[in-house]
């Protein structure tokens, strides 16, 4: 697992290559295996492969979502705020589980934050996506995970350069 974390980097450039159905199935299964508080499972997922829809998703917010149009796959991570008071945490966990699974499958991914972001002066990014994908109002949009075969290479993390000063043992000081 440590090797997966060392190698996983945010990938924003993708090859024009379809992801195999077996890999998509594995990504879906990993999302559905994500832990949640009290096993309530307030998360839901929309798997998007349609190029036109991916292009529209790339306009969800002003900055930081344009690369979605070039991804062959996106997971839209939803949370049911009526089921759990920790839906944000549970959907975030599911999102990283999908990203780590993608890494293990030889795929790149990048998180696109949607919750609390603007689409334009009149709509939030969440409202834009809810309308685009016909999502009921009680389901909140946490993020989009863009996924694809990487068309860029990034260096793995160097364990010697981690911010170890952020870790305290037993007490803060």
Closest to 8 measured CA to CA, from 115, 147, 114, 161: 147
Domain CATH for 110:
3.40.109.10
- For 22-40, b where at least 16 C-beta lie within 10 A, e where not — what string? ebbeebeebbeebebeeee
| 171 part of a folded domain | no
| 25 part of a folded domain | yes
| 155 part of a folded domain | yes
Q: 159: domain range?
A: 2-166
* pLDDT score recorded for residue 173: 85
* pLDDT score recorded for residue 68: 98
Q: pLDDT band for position 16 (50/70/90)?
A: very high
pTM, full prediction: 0.95
Instruction: Encode pLDDT of 88-99 as tens digits.
Output: 999 999 999 999
| 90 part of a folded domain | yes
| 172 part of a folded domain | no
- For the chain, the domain total comes to 1
| 173 part of a folded domain | no
Sign of torsion over alpha carbons 30, 32, 37, 42? positive
């Amino acid at each position: 697992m440590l090797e997966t974390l060392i190698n996983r980097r945010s990938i924003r450039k993708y090859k024009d290559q379809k992801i195999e159905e077996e890999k998509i199935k594995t990504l879906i299964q990993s999302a559905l295996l994500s832990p949640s508080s009290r096993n309530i499972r307030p998360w839901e997922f929309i798997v998007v492969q349609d190029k036109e829809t991916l292009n529209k998703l790339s306009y969800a917010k002003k900055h930081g979502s344009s690369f979605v149009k070039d991804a062959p796959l996106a997971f839209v991570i939803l949370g049911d705020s009526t089921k759990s008071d920790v839906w944000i945490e549970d959907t975030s966990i599911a999102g990283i589980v999908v990203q780590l699974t993608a890494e293990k499958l030889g795929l790149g991914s990048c998180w696109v934050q949607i919750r609390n972001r603007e689409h334009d002066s009149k709509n939030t990014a969440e409202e834009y996506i809810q309308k685009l994908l016909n999502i009921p109002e009680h389901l909140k949009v946490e993020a989009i995970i863009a996924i694809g075969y990487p068309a860029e290479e990034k260096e793995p993390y160097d364990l010697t350069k981690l911010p170890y000063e952020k870790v305290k043992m037993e007490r803060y000081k």
